[in-house]
Amino acid sequence: MDTHFLVTSEAFVATPGELDDEHDDYINPGIYALAFADFIEAELAKRGYPVKFRCQEDWGHWMELEHQGKFTLAVCCANTGEEIDGQAEHRVFLSPDKPVIRKFFKKIDVRSDLEKLGATLQEVLESNSAINNVRVENAT
């Protein structure tokens, strides 16, 4: 079950607003992914995963998706601060990232939802010519 991806791209760089002094008040310095999050949101919506809530966290972007399950399903992304062959590296991951979650003392098997979303996300990443070096990262 693929829930974490690393990609490189020179297309998704920090926007001017992500580099100003005000940005550092709510996002860790050097963390950006606004353009990448916009791209992921638009592509997932085309494939039946509209975003119902989105916000910037201190570590990157959180996009909560509309779906039929009774649990929160989200896609998250941020740059890693690394470059490979002159291209910014980004991490994209799903939440939850485990096949079984607990909610109000109940176990919910979310494996099929994660497998479907993971496959869709991987197709989004691999089908865009501006994104290179798509690789699956083991969840920790």
Measured CA to CA, the distance from residue 124 to residue 130 in angstroms comes to 11
Measured CA to CA, the distance from residue 34 to residue 31 in angstroms comes to 10
Bond into 16 cis (ω within 30): no
Q: How many domains does the chain have?
A: 1
Domain limits at 78? 4-136
Residue 139 confidence (pLDDT): 64
Residue 78 confidence (pLDDT): 93
Mean pLDDT by 10 residues, the chain (140 residues): 92 74 62 91 97 92 94 95 91 94 90 96 96 84
Helix (H) or strand (E) holding 133: strand 132-136
Residue 48 confidence (pLDDT): 97
Q: What are phi and psi of 95, to 5 degrees?
A: -135, 125
SS3 36: helix
